[in-house]
Structure 1
Amino acid sequence: MTDLSPQRRRGGGRAARRAERTAPNFDMLPGLENTLPLTEIMNGSQVERIDAASMDILENVGVQFRDDIALGDWKRAGAKVVGEMVYLDRHLVRDLISTIPETFTYHARDPNKNVSLGGRNAVFVPMTGAPFLRDLEDKRRNPMLDDLAMFHKLSHMMPSLHSSAHHIVEPYDHPISQRHLRITYSSMKHSDKMFMGMTTSPKNAEDVMDMCAILFGEEFLETHPVTTGNCNGNSPLVWDETMLGAMRAFCRRNQPVLCSPFVLGGANTPASVPAAVAQLNAEALSALAYTQVIRRGAPAIYGHYLSTVSMKSGAPMAGTPEISQMNFMIGQMARFYGVPWRTSNTLGGAKTFDAQAGYESATTLSAVLHAGANYIWHSAGWNEAGMHCSVAKFIVDSEQCAMGYRMAQGLKWDDFDQALSAVGDIGPGGHYLGHPHTQDNFQEAFFMPELFDNNSIEQWVAEGSVEITERALNHAKHLLSEYQEPKLDEAKNEELLDYIARREREIPAADELNQTY
């Protein structure tokens, strides 16, 4: 006879809820709404001082636009153009950037994975661009297309990541000139989250836009951001033809771009945090303004890549105090202009996934959350100054982002009275482990990392003394064994493959022509 007493039903309900909570869950977390108090290290007059200094650079030093089309565009917009130098009046800059949307929504292949960006809304995006990887056996080697697919699958399965990015690692088994096609397809095929688009040349960017039009529809692109392009400036104060052509390809189709000066503090900026930010701000503003010359109202993101340079070796450094300070300052400047902004996350300069990598990454993650960043790029896998993507670090970084997400969500008050009543139930000297509130809420009350070991030393030794890298690699292998592909619509998949085949016939292999892409 089945016991249906209230106590048994309640206990069975808790057991069922516990089983559900401890089962693997690959559901993407919604876009983060960051509730943390923002760290603003400048007062109002200092923000205005940086703005004035940047506008003075734009008006009197100028920015070099190494692109005839952009120079013509600037002349028509009313800027002073002398050769390749563009001198931007501050009133013109302010007018142009005022038309950039402060917030917008990214639309994913799965509409349930759409995310908002700007204001208090943030997303975590994995690293890109690594020429090497540390693989599932922690061996450093050249990546192939299958390795890229592996990272796209892991991106799809990690709840804290809101994007599959694009070339997390460079697939060396495809020609450079054709690589962007396979990279974009892999992003689309292996995940139904949003993704990034290649900007390695203007034509490559056009190919990405064409593939997005196949996947989403040309008319949809006109009114819905679905991907992101990254356009890096050449600090100090140069924008080149490749990046500007790619920027036009994205903006004309109403797709957002990151306007990203590439800062190596002390090498291509002054050796001063405020002066470096003033230069970076001028560079970013010049590109943001140009996006609106291309298309008024197109979404655009204040971007940058930040690093300081070791005066001992000239090598870029990660996780330094000055990088955090610059992030705090840039967050204030982006909010001053009313535009969303991008930064980089969980950066490490270590050669392996060691304590240095962990300290640098944790410092960066904390700083960018407190700075109020919106597009939080390079959030998983980055090490060796971006030279390799580590599978182990990718997994742990993703969990760290989930922990940061939990912290930035703010306090949970909905069960406060119920939880407080447990104090009276237990009284002095008792414990709460068996209390119904604890049993019902233990999983949600406190974040419990899967990859950090908090057991006793005796239990850790008995279980094989497994350290974090091995645990992370084992977890990655387990995840990949459970991966289920979010199938593309068959007709769209065939159209994408046909497009790739046609373009690969049309594009000569860059290696054969000794070309740079």
Structure 2
Amino acid sequence: MLNGLQDKMSGKLEFLSEDDCEKIHYASLEVLSEVGLKIEPGYALDALEEMGCDVNKRTSIVKFPNYLVEECLRACPHSVKLYGLDSKYDIKMEKKRTYVSTGTGYGVIDEKENLARAGNLNDVREATLIAHHLDNIHSISPPLVGVSDSPANIATETILAETLKNTNKTIEFYLTGTSDSKPEVDDLISLCELVAGGAAELKKRPFAMLALNPVSPLIYPEEQISSIFKCVDAGIPVAIMPGAVGGATAPITISGILTQSNAEFLGGVVLANIVKKGAPVVYAHYNSIMNMQTGNYSAGSVEMGLIGSCVGQLGNWYGIPTNGFFPMSDSHIPDQQVGYEKMMQWVLSTLGGMNYLNGAGSVENGTLISLEQLVIDNEVVGMVDRMLKGVQVDDERIGIDTISKVGPGGNYFKQAHTLQWSRDECFIPKISEKESFSNWEGENVITKAKATVDEMLRNVETPVDKDIIKDIEQFQKELL
């Protein structure tokens, strides 16, 4: 199993006190009991009414009694495990452990042509292969939500299939809503069952989880509810991911965003428990604020990191694993702005205790993918991992004997203590510039990342068994 980012500093950053978490919880219960959620499909309304909810079938507004929400919360598992197609890639989302996944986009930054363009299935293949072979990327989300060389109505299924042909790591997938025939979730579950070796094997060892979004403010569309029901029934964990935008689809204040999105999440917990009591759910989010100057969704804002840290705290308070569909940046290309915006969000979220973070490789509000940024983010995550280890204080590390041996004016370079602890104490970067100016050859982190991408694409191969690839390719053909 992958350890992920796990050490003494995880969850140490607390923007919310215990009283704050309690206030947000009870305010969320008040929203659910007094305002309610709009629940679109009739079968869900019937089921919620049977569970004791106040259901208005004319308006589709459902008001949830406090006791029901609390009962479903108590049933939630405290950890959620995903099983890699190779067991060494298993992950366990739980308190004081963070895993990193790739971001997604609608297009790619093509460094060869120096432009942004529509993505294709080869881009999916390349991004997945690179992510698979990067040590600090623990799980993978399909890198694109649409491609130019696949019909839109089967794009989600085709992209997930291409992803699964190129990695044995765990997967978080999503819906795009582009299918014009049967619900796309049916094909996605069928594909997962095919790769797992059957429905029973998928239930026993789920390797994927579904990320889905209620519509803020306070709406669960039919497709989202149907997908919750079907995935829970198939044994696939569900990441319930509100995406409220402060100032647009939620209050502008962070506590207001947290209260509304928490109510939306708690409603999803009840919906999942209709199918199975104690269904594996993950408390996810991609909430942010609206840029008040432009009216745009501000994905790279420091507030997104603050909210992520608070959601991590709330998840710890509930005892439920958490997931953030970020870090992201508002910058259009890999540059300094991407660096400081994403690093701020990495740090805030991991110190706040978030258990699973997407976003590696994404730029431009999460709409574009850059292979070079994916390599850079892998290095950034290595730095975050070192930060989470904190400072260990013990006799061996203090090294009084070595200090005495070296004495005034001495040098520690050749000491055994230095050799023993250098790798444990010091993060060793691969592409960051560390030479003196006089020895610098004019490269920067982008050109170094590009060279790494080129080398990897020349040398890496898919780890997936050839028979599984053949089955997936047959699945892709049958979609057409």
Shorter-chain TM range is over 0.9
- Tell me the equivalent position of 1:262: 243
CA offset digits 1:289-321 (Å, max 9, x no partner): 211112222211111112211111101224434
Worse-superposed segment, 63-72 or 408-417: 408-417
Q: Amino acid of the residue matched to residue 458 of structure 1?
A: S
1:164 aligns with 2:140: yes
> SS at 2:81's partner residue?
strand
1:225 aligns with 2:185: no
Contact 1:288–1:301 (Cα < 8 Å) also in 2: no
User: What TM-score does the superposition give when structure 2 sets the normalisation length?
Assistant: 0.93
- Tell me the equivalent position of 2:284: 303
- C-alpha spacing 1:454/1:153, structure 2 compared with 1 (3 Å): same
- C-alpha spacing 1:80/1:501, structure 2 compared with 1 (3 Å): same
Shift of 1:357: 1.2
Q: Distance in 1 between matches of 2:240 and 2:470?
A: 34
1:474 aligns with 2:451: yes
- Tell me the equivalent position of 2:416: 436
Q: Out of 389, 393, 405, which is 2:369 matched to?
A: 389
CA offset digits 1:80-102 (Å, max 9, x no partner): 11021111011111111221211
- C-alpha spacing 1:440/1:229, structure 2 compared with 1 (3 Å): same
Q: Distance in 2 between matches of 1:198 and 1:278?
A: 24
Shift of 1:38: 2.0
Shift of 1:183: 1.5
Shift of 1:235: 0.6
> SS at 1:233's partner residue?
coil
- C-alpha spacing 1:119/1:439, structure 2 compared with 1 (3 Å): closer
- Structure 2: give runs of 5+ residues left out of the alignment: none
1:448 aligns with 2:428: yes
1:330 aligns with 2:311: yes
Q: Distance in 2 between matches of 1:146 and 1:388?
A: 15
Q: Out of 35, 38, 41, which is 1:61 matched to?
A: 35
1:32 aligns with 2:5: yes
Q: Distance in 2 between matches of 1:48 and 1:286?
A: 17
Q: Out of 77, 102, 108, which is 2:51 matched to?
A: 77
Q: Distance in 2 between matches of 1:314 and 1:250?
A: 35
Q: Distance in 2 between matches of 1:211 and 1:110?
A: 17
CA offset digits 1:113-162 (Å, max 9, x no partner): 1111122222111102x111112424211111001111001110110111
- Tell me the equivalent position of 1:315: 296
- C-alpha spacing 1:93/1:418, structure 2 compared with 1 (3 Å): closer
Q: Amino acid of the residue matched to residue 455 of structure 1?
A: E
- Tell me the equivalent position of 2:88: 112
> SS at 2:287's partner residue?
strand
1:135 aligns with 2:110: yes
Worse-superposed segment, 293-302 or 105-114: 293-302
- Tell me the equivalent position of 1:46: 20
Q: Distance in 1 between matches of 2:45 and 2:421?
A: 61
Contact 1:198–1:208 (Cα < 8 Å) also in 2: no
Worse-superposed segment, 154-163 or 400-409: 400-409
> SS at 2:333's partner residue?
coil
Worse-superposed segment, 480-489 or 96-105: 480-489
Q: Distance in 1 between matches of 2:318 and 2:66?
A: 13
Shift of 1:111: 0.5
Q: Distance in 2 between matches of 1:67 and 1:34?
A: 44
> SS at 1:197's partner residue?
strand
Q: Amino acid of the residue matched to residue 396 of structure 1?
A: I
- Tell me the equivalent position of 1:215: 195
Q: Out of 482, 485, 488, which is 2:465 matched to?
A: 488
Worse-superposed segment, 472-481 or 315-324: 315-324
Q: Amino acid of the residue matched to residue 426 of structure 1?
A: V
Q: Distance in 2 between matches of 1:435 and 1:404?
A: 28
> SS at 1:98's partner residue?
helix
- Structure 1: give runs of 5+ residues left out of the alignment: 1-27, 505-517
Shift of 1:29: 5.5
Q: Distance in 2 between matches of 1:50 and 1:487?
A: 45
Q: Out of 267, 286, 292, which is 2:267 matched to?
A: 286
- C-alpha spacing 1:275/1:81, structure 2 compared with 1 (3 Å): same
Contact 2:302–2:341 (Cα < 8 Å) also in 1: no
User: What TM-score does the superposition give when structure 1 sets the normalisation length?
Assistant: 0.86
Shift of 1:404: 0.9
1:371 aligns with 2:345: no
Structure (1 or 2) with the larger CA radius of gyration:
1
- Tell me the equivalent position of 1:153: 129
Shift of 1:449: 1.3
Q: Distance in 1 between matches of 2:87 and 2:6?
A: 18
Q: Distance in 1 between matches of 2:363 and 2:385?
A: 21
Q: Distance in 2 between matches of 1:415 and 1:166?
A: 46
> SS at 1:301's partner residue?
strand
- C-alpha spacing 1:494/1:383, structure 2 compared with 1 (3 Å): closer
Contact 2:38–2:61 (Cα < 8 Å) also in 1: yes
- Tell me the equivalent position of 2:403: 423
RMSD: 2.1
- Tell me the equivalent position of 1:409: 389
Shift of 1:489: 5.0
Q: Distance in 2 between matches of 1:303 and 1:112?
A: 25
User: Could you list the runs of 4 or more consecutive aligned residues of structure 1 that deviate by over 6 angstroms after TM superposition?
Assistant: none
Contact 1:33–1:120 (Cα < 8 Å) also in 2: yes
Q: Distance in 1 between matches of 2:3 and 2:314?
A: 26
> SS at 2:209's partner residue?
strand
Contact 1:154–1:479 (Cα < 8 Å) also in 2: yes
Shift of 1:164: 2.1
Q: Would you say how many aligned residue pairs link Structure 1 and Structure 2?
A: 471
Q: Amino acid of the residue matched to residue 465 of structure 2?
A: L
- Tell me the equivalent position of 1:18: none
